[in-house]
Amino acid sequence: MSYIIGISSFYHDSSVAIVKDNILIDYLKEESFTRIKGNSVFPKRSLLHLVKKYNLTNSKIQACVFYEKPFLSWSIITLFSLKKPFERWKISSSQFKKLWSGSLSFSTYTKKILNLDENKNLYAPHHMSHALTAISFDKKIENKDRLIFVIDAVGDGETISIFKNSNKTFKKIFVEEYPNSLGLFYSAVTDYLGYSVNEGEYKVMGLASYGTPVYKDYILENIISWKNEKLFFNLKWFDFDKNPEKTYSKIFEDFFGKIPHKKHFSNIKSSEFKRLANIAASFQTALEEILKKIVSWAIKKTGITNVYFSGGVALNSRAMQKIAEMEVVKKFTIPPSPSDTGSSIGAASFGNFVLNKRFLNETSLFFSNNFFFPKTNILLQLFDEIKHDDFFGYISRLISQNQYVCTFVDGAEIGPRALGHRSILCSAKEISLKNDLNRNKKGREHFRPMAPIVQKENLSRYFYTKKKYQHNLEWMGMTLNCKELTLKHYPSCIHVDKTSRVQVVSNKNLFIYKLLNKLKKYNHELILNTSFNYAGDPIVFDYIDCYTAMKKMGLNYLITENKIFVIK
């Protein structure tokens, strides 16, 4: 009996994955334990929990794999900063501090927590971790030609990698290096708009739909462009290469205008909101245009039309829709967790391939609950059970009566998006419910969209879709354009640009599928879904989190696998 452990940490969204017999058997995010969203620390708590759960010892562990090569990653950024020591001294200082902490101390942690032999530590190339995460959710791994795009901020000094994968061989056909980075390009506008880098990019994407890309051409002519098989990047507009705490430069600020205040986002009709939305729209469409050019070039170069996307940029579901809909793309796949938080899966897969010459089998979207205390005792202390004769009938009545229900069902979602197991659900017919959830319950920006869930057999009735990318909809990998029927009957799940980040369910997600069957009685074929958390908090992990979040949001109903509770 041997296990392979994959670890992602020290940058953002730390996580641990564990593989046994070619199957991913568990996965944990450190933020679930620390309750700090996007926590970057070494995932000590997650690892200790898995040690206890699986009785892990040195003899049982085949390898512990880190998701990047620490010294390579450190040295590339450090050497770059030392080329201009006076201009980039803040970066250099930050890098030298990492000599005593961060990824270079990975083996120290594995020795202390696992008592692991030094030779069992492996280091995967960062972009290979992303690439292997992408193919870990394939139904049939072998005998496919794939074109895998990995695009993020930076990893091991690389910002774009394109792999040609045929059977069990990987060939890197293109690489772009730091500081030329599409991820950091988008992070700069995220930072400028007042959102946290590596966390707020999806807010920029949502805001972009309210604007007009008035600066797109200027951006593509002066700031960033793809020409002659090369990404051109004008560093004068950015500060990330000089300052670890700021990504955009004074030139950026002088051109796009004063830094916004949070109050500027509160009035959609104001000129200031429109200005900010136009900036977001310009960066979003510039990103989309460059991505499409890169994809077109790579397909023409290789002749491979089976496209995969991974890395943090793949979380941009609107951009992923644009790529998926390209005629030259014949099949399109994004993993449920393409960013660093999912790279622990790719790291474990790398170890499995190096040691056992096998890729992972198709990976589940959900993993088993992990508790330190008896579930029933905690539940009864915090909630009262509601007696009923018809479980799904009772829940569907609540939803049809415009009530919110919180779900804590079976295993937790592997990616950042709630898929009905750790969700807040309500009717998709009433726009007032969405507005109330955003503003009053979750404390989110009012312009943020919420997602619909629909049964697979009803998908084409409500959305424009093609078979080549439908599998990504199981985990909300991309947006779709809505049909008029959706606009008429389910307006609250449609964004201002008439798209929705749809989740499609079949009997593989049996709980939500059964609920939607019951909701048909109340003329509901779509249901509104948002993650079970207050804005800025991680998604709930245990029943104490459920209670805390529900108290904070003023929500009443909690649904487990087969019981309905009301908060005390």
DSSP 451-467: EEEEEGGGHHHHEE--G
Provide the residue type at 182 as one letter.
L
Strand order in the sheet with 405-407: 383-386, 564-567, 557-559, 405-407, 423-427, 526-531, 451-455, 503-505
Q: Which residues is 29 bridged to in the sheet?
A: 15
Q: How confident is the model at residue 142 (pLDDT cuts 50, 70, 90)?
A: low
Q: What is the pTM of this model?
A: 0.94
Distances (CA, A) of 485 to 33, 210, 461: 42, 22, 8
Beta 451-455 vs 423-427: how paired, if at all?
Answer: unpaired
Model pLDDT, residue 102: 73
pLDDT at 140 over 90: no
Buried b (16+ CB within 10 A) or exposed e, 289-302: bbbbebbbebbeeb
> 509 with 457: CB under 8 angstroms?
no
Model pLDDT, residue 137: 84
Of 46, 51, 27, 29, nearest to 38 by C-alpha is: 29
Backbone angles phi, psi at 2, to 5 degrees: -135, 145
Q: Average of pLDDT values for 395-407?
A: 97
The model's pLDDT over 24-80, given as tens digits with 9 standing for 90+, comes to 999 999 999 999 999 999 999 999 999 999 999 999 999 999 999 988 888 888 888
pLDDT at 373 over 70: no
Phi/psi region, residue 126 (left: phi>0; alpha: psi -120 to 50; beta: rest), is: alpha
Buried b (16+ CB within 10 A) or exposed e, 191-227: bbbebebbebbbbbbbbbbbbebebbeebbeebbbbe
Q: Which residues contact 93 (CB under 8 A, 6 or more apart)?
A: none
Of 291, 173, 185, nearest to 238 by C-alpha is: 185
287 vs 199, residue with greater confidence: 287
23, two tokens: 């199957």
The model's pLDDT over 294-308, given as tens digits with 9 standing for 90+, comes to 999 999 999 999 999
The model's pLDDT over 222-231, given as tens digits with 9 standing for 90+, comes to 999 999 889 9
pLDDT at 472 over 90: yes
Phi/psi region, residue 198 (left: phi>0; alpha: psi -120 to 50; beta: rest), is: left
